[in-house]
Structure 1
Amino acid sequence: MPKVQETTLEINLKSLEHNYNYLTSKTSENTKFLAVVKAFGYGSDPSRIALKLQDLNADYFAVAYVQEGITLRDAGVTKPILVLHPQPTNFKTIIERCLEPSIYSFKVLKAFIAEAEKEKQQQYPIHIKFNTGLNRLGFNENDSKEIIDTLKKTNAVKVKSIFSHMAASEDLNEKEFTLSQIQSFKNIISVFENNLGYSVLKHMCNTSGILNYPEAHFDMVRSGIGLYGFGNSAEQNKNLKPIASLKSVISQIHHINKGESLGYNRGFVAKNLVKTATIPVGHADGIGRQYGKGKGFVTINNQRAYILGNVCMDMIMVDVTTIDCEEGDEVIVFDNTYTAEALASSASTISYEILTAISQRIKRTFID
């Protein structure tokens, strides 16, 4: 790739294909694959990601909110789209745009049935979310029979799947807890299969679940972060390729004398002569203030350059005292070698956060 001339997020769709193929290789031939493309495709581009995965025969897509599903439909995504956290105010839109809601409480279940009946729907697909230990969203295990009784009173909706979410599938120290979640979900499956009157899809594995708990793949698996190149462990990261590279350029070089300060609130004061580079990316672009004052870094000519002072809205300043560089040189914020995970760990956070925070104002380019 030619070197960038401005701050750019490069998205490698070939790497996305590699990750998809690796993850699907871990499942059986009959196991469906749901691709999670919420949060702007984990900070990349949801439409391009989803269309590529649709071409690769992904079976399902998931988004967090209704507007994300509308974006995919407008882009030409025709596969089923599960909305993981819908609100009743959007139920009419869900039906109009052929989206499929996650139903996680009796209030939401009754509200969606009412909207489906109002819109004269027959067997509209819904997904029943169960809480097996994450304690975030979902029905409890002992709600199963009441859910089924409610569903049997209407023809307006039909359950497409029941699902749950693992809380700590990446942490093998929590294996006992994860196995208890799997058993709880199996109990729920048993009640549904014995009382609902028709079969439904079952799924609970996220990326780490796919890799660590093959016995819990059931009928479908879900992957978010794995598709984007991270497997939640150093060992699994070797098998995946980060799809996003955030690059920028050196706008200006300064020489800061001993005792002089740099940036807002004099966040850095030089103890000796320091050479700095100013780079056009800041907290409005997803590089939060937690990366300032020597915690975060970028890479210039294969050397780490640590952020000095406070991160500005549109700029960071980095220490290039020992780096041979010039104005206009390329800067790597993260890529498949100097990863987002490494940068995130410098500020005690995770790759998910920095990836999903990348501003929509940053130019996107694609490799396919």
Structure 2
Amino acid sequence: MGILDRDIRQETGTAASFLTVDLSALVENYRLLAGRAGTAACAAVVKADAYGLGAGRVAPALAAAGCGHFFVAQVGEGVALRAILGGGPVIGVLNGTTPGSEGACAACDLVPVLNDRAQLRAWRDLASRLGRRLPAILQVDSGMARFGFDPAELSALLDAADAFGGLSLRLVMSHLACADTPDHPANAAQWAAFAAVRARLPQVPASLAASSGIFLGPGFHFDMVRPGAALYGIAPQAGLPNPLRPVVGLRARVMQLRAVPAGRAVGYGHAAVLARDSRLATVAVGYADGFPRSAGAGAGAAWCAGHRLPVVGRVSMDSLVLDATDLPAGAIGPGSLVDLLGPDQDIDALAASAGTIGYEVLTRLGHRFHRSYLGA
């Protein structure tokens, strides 16, 4: 009996599904990534409520492991994270400020990533009104066309005598578009574009690599790396062995087991018709809980006692149907637990069955699960 089984036995019986977050695995992943980064500092990206796993538990565990730099996407996330972590850790806001949010950003000692002239101007104006220098991170678009100054625009800005007056630049950064594909030519092109900008700001620390970029080698590490998904166990490079520990487990109860004859249709739209006499297990997880609807019709599966149980028909909002025919008699019944994420199927495998990526599966996991944090 494992830790997860003990947690479930201690349950009151009201929960139908169980999500576990292994904080010790999270910390091991952080240390592995920090070790890969060599002399570069290792930050942690905890945006979207730590990728849906709960920033209130994830961020303190990382801080206790020695992480001193965190990134979120929005100012509101930064305000909440500051309340969780207190003073001390640096919190960067990747999307920068929205008009009117600058005061809250400064009051909570957040460091905005300045992505364009409007954000730069607003942050400088606030520094002038407050009569003190404000910290800032500068982002350059090295080839993703998403966030950041265009390199030519930034070059012209750097030619101005007082472009960053009133500000203290803590970091210059960019983001790789194709880092999960090591041999993609965009990686070298973006590195060159970023290095050219960094040469104009030699005294400012630099950051280019996020999760996958760490594995492109020391040349991509610069002064700081910013892992996000890799912390939570998502494979950093497609098709290669995953060096990271799984952090998330997901189990669900069987609500009903029934014998259904061949020829019967199953689920909405009668999308599946049974080719044989079957035993079908209905499980209390659906797309409202983040199980991908596109993983229906046999593409996705759960696991029980080492057996793969394919999804039959369409995934419903609150349930899905599994083919349990090949399990030994008595191996499964109402109240039994099946693994949706676990030793036989990690996040990347579930995502592949749904035609998506682990990031999307992870961040969509819902709030009806009973959550357990292990290794706290």
Unaligned runs of 5+ in 2: none
2:59 to 50, 53, 77: 50
Please say which of residues 267-276 and 277-286 is displaced more in the overlay. 267-276
Give the whole-Å Cα distance in 2 for the aligned partners of 1:364 and 1:242. Answer: 16
Give the whole-Å Cα distance in 1 for the aligned partners of 2:288 and 2:371. Answer: 16
Structure 1 residue 244 displacement after superposition: 0.7
Structure 1 residue 260 displacement after superposition: 2.5
Aligned residues of 2:140 and 2:154 also touching (Cα < 8 A): no
TM-score (norm 1): 0.92
Residue by residue, what CA displacement relative to the aligned partner does 1:298-323 show, whole Å, maximum 9, x if unpaired?
11121111111111111111111111
Aligned residues of 1:105 and 1:139 also touching (Cα < 8 A): yes
Q: Which residue of 2 aligns with 1:113?
A: 124
The residue matched to 2:112 in structure 1 has which SS? strand
2:37 to 14, 24, 27: 27
Structure 1 residue 154 displacement after superposition: 6.1
Structure 1 vs Structure 2 CA RMSD: 1.9
Aligned residues of 2:20 and 2:250 also touching (Cα < 8 A): yes
Identical positions, percent: 28
The change in CA–CA distance for 1:132 and 1:153 in structure 2 (over 3 A counts) is closer
Structure 1 residue 108 displacement after superposition: 1.8
Q: Which residue of 1 aligns with 2:352?
A: 345
The change in CA–CA distance for 1:131 and 1:97 in structure 2 (over 3 A counts) is same
Give the whole-Å Cα distance in 2 for the aligned partners of 1:9 and 1:150. Answer: 53
Q: Which residue of 2 aligns with 1:130?
A: 140
Residue by residue, what CA displacement relative to the aligned partner does 1:261-286 show, whole Å, maximum 9, x if unpaired?
22222232223322111111111111
Q: What amino acid sits opposite 1:223 in the alignment?
A: P
Please say which of residues 90-99 and 131-140 is displaced more in the overlay. 90-99
Does 2:309 match 1:311? no
Give the whole-Å Cα distance in 2 for the aligned partners of 1:289 and 1:116. Answer: 48
Q: How does 1:3-22 map to 2 (within 5 A)?
A: 3=5, 4=8, 6-22=16-32
Please say which of residues 146-155 and 120-129 is displaced more in the overlay. 146-155
Residue by residue, what CA displacement relative to the aligned partner does 1:14-35 show, whole Å, maximum 9, x if unpaired?
1112111111111223x21110
The change in CA–CA distance for 1:320 and 1:336 in structure 2 (over 3 A counts) is closer
Q: What amino acid sits opposite 1:80 in the alignment?
A: V
TM-score (norm 2): 0.90
Give the whole-Å Cα distance in 2 for the aligned partners of 1:288 and 1:233. Answer: 20
Does 2:195 match 1:190? no
Give the whole-Å Cα distance in 1 for the aligned partners of 2:351 and 2:163. Answer: 50
The change in CA–CA distance for 1:240 and 1:153 in structure 2 (over 3 A counts) is closer
Q: What amino acid sits opposite 2:237 in the alignment?
A: N
Give the whole-Å Cα distance in 1 for the aligned partners of 2:261 and 2:128. Answer: 73
The change in CA–CA distance for 1:270 and 1:89 in structure 2 (over 3 A counts) is farther
Q: How does 1:120-199 map to 2 (within 5 A)?
A: 120-148=130-158, 152=162, 155-174=165-184, 176-193=185-202, 199=203
2:276 to 248, 266, 272: 272
Q: Which residue of 2 aligns with 1:62?
A: 71
Give the whole-Å Cα distance in 2 for the aligned partners of 1:352 and 1:328. Answer: 30
Residue by residue, what CA displacement relative to the aligned partner does 1:55-80 show, whole Å, maximum 9, x if unpaired?
11112101111222222122234311
Structure 1 residue 164 displacement after superposition: 0.4
The residue matched to 2:315 in structure 1 has which SS? coil
